Structure 1
Amino acid sequence: MENDKELKPISIKELESFNTPKVWEVECFLHSFNSLWPITGWVSVEHLSESIIVKSELQTLIELCCDRCSQQFEHKLFCNTEELIRISTKNNKKSHYTQMESSHELAELNESLDSSSNFDPERWIFEHVNLELPISKHCGEKCPMHSHIEFTPKTTITNKTQPQKTNVKDSADPRLAILKKLQKNYLP
């Protein structure tokens, strides 16, 4: 394995000449990705016959805004990924991949690079770390809004015949109280 600390792009042709995977030791901040800690870990890329396989184990600490209470909180982000990327050439664009259409291999080859292009580890890291960002951002059980948000009403059964919906929380959401106060003060 050839290790490198600089995240310089490498040509596909150069990767082909290596007998072992190319490995980058990662400890950096990315210009277009805000994190509290540098992204640390490693990325390796290995040339296979008509594809490359990229593997990574990365982690960092980021600051997110809670979707419920709008408070900032820290979140540890992990990116442990393995991706198979097709190498496209003029010769193999149709022949080999038409034969693979029925196989499971084709489903794994979501991305492709031209054989005359470069693999850019910094861009790859940026894309995959962003894919690991949580869709729902909640600061946890201690969130001030955690107890005020109810997604499904609880149902109790009385006399074992008809279910009745009951309010779990009698107190209103404090955000609604603020909105009602504003509405009362500013609307005629």
Structure 2
Amino acid sequence: MTPVHWLSIPELLRLPAQTYEWQVDTHFPDLPTLTPVQGMVAATHRHTYLELRASVQTIVTLSCDRCLQYYNHRLECTTSELIWLAESPASQPDDDLVETAPATGRIDLGDWLYQQLCLALPYPKYCDPNCGGIHPPTPAEPSVDHRWAMLAQLQSALEGAEPSP
């Protein structure tokens, strides 16, 4: 569950420069961070679309895809998105790649920011570019049964002896 930070789209028109700024200092329970997500999210009403911008950072704990060790990663997210404002559901564009919102509705900036942070996570996740992955444990020197020690000495002596012509 992400922190809810609702913003009324029509009320943006009453703000100076039709812009709302959210000084972010929060944790997202579904995102394992060591520090709060800090930075700024701004929403600007541009009459036919909404412009969302974010510049935030935090430190996340990740698991390496190669060696499975945990490591800390500084996650910095600077992004923007345009959201088409539709007067009615019928006026929404046919393009599935265009994000839309009702012009008289609300938008959850907390959920939008969480999605942007998830998209900014590294893939694949490597603790180090040269990580060698999981290494099987090296077996200890095989123990020699003392009963076979004499045979091992004889074998060594035979391997060391030169054949006669």
TM beyond 0.5: yes
Question: Of residues 114, 117, 128 in structure 2, which corresponds to 1:126?
Answer: 114
Of residues 40-49 and 117-126 in structure 1, the stretch that sits farther from structure 2 once superposed is 117-126
Q: What pairs up with 1:144-155 in 2 under 5 angstroms? A: 145=132
Cα separation, 2, equivalents of 1:134 and 1:50: 33
Q: Paired residue for 1:78?
A: 76
1:112-158 Cα offsets, whole Å, 9 max, x none, are 11123211111111110001011101111563x26xxxxxxxxxxxx
User: What is the TM-score when the length of structure 1 is the normalising length?
Assistant: 0.63
User: What is the TM-score when the length of structure 2 is the normalising length?
Assistant: 0.72
Residues 33/141 of structure 1: CA separation in 2 closer, same or farther (3 Å cut):
closer
Cα separation, 2, equivalents of 1:75 and 1:82: 22
Question: Is residue 50 from structure 1 mapped to residue 48 from structure 2 by the alignment?
Answer: yes
Cα separation, 2, equivalents of 1:176 and 1:112: 54
Q: Paired residue for 1:186?
A: none
Q: Paired residue for 2:25?
A: 27
Decide which structure has the larger Cα Rg and report it.
2
Cα separation, 2, equivalents of 1:63 and 1:126: 16
Secondary structure class of the residue paired with 1:129: helix
Residues 116/73 of structure 1: CA separation in 2 closer, same or farther (3 Å cut):
same
1:42-65 Cα offsets, whole Å, 9 max, x none, are 000000111110011000000111
Given that 2:9 and 2:107 are in contact with CA atoms closer than 8 Å, whether structure 1 keeps it comes out as: yes
Amino acid at match of 1:68: R
Cα separation, 1, equivalents of 2:46 and 2:90: 14
Given that 1:7 and 1:24 are in contact with CA atoms closer than 8 Å, whether structure 2 keeps it comes out as: no
RMSD value over aligned CA atoms?
2.8
User: 5+ unaligned residues in a row in structure 1: which ranges?
Assistant: 1-5, 99-105, 147-172, 179-188
Question: Is residue 174 from structure 1 mapped to residue 162 from structure 2 by the alignment?
Answer: no
Question: Is residue 11 from structure 1 mapped to residue 15 from structure 2 by the alignment?
Answer: no
Secondary structure class of the residue paired with 2:16: coil
User: 5+ unaligned residues in a row in structure 2: which ranges?
Assistant: 140-165
Identity, % of aligned pairs?
Answer: 26
Question: Of residues 108, 111, 114 in structure 1, which corresponds to 2:102?
Answer: 114
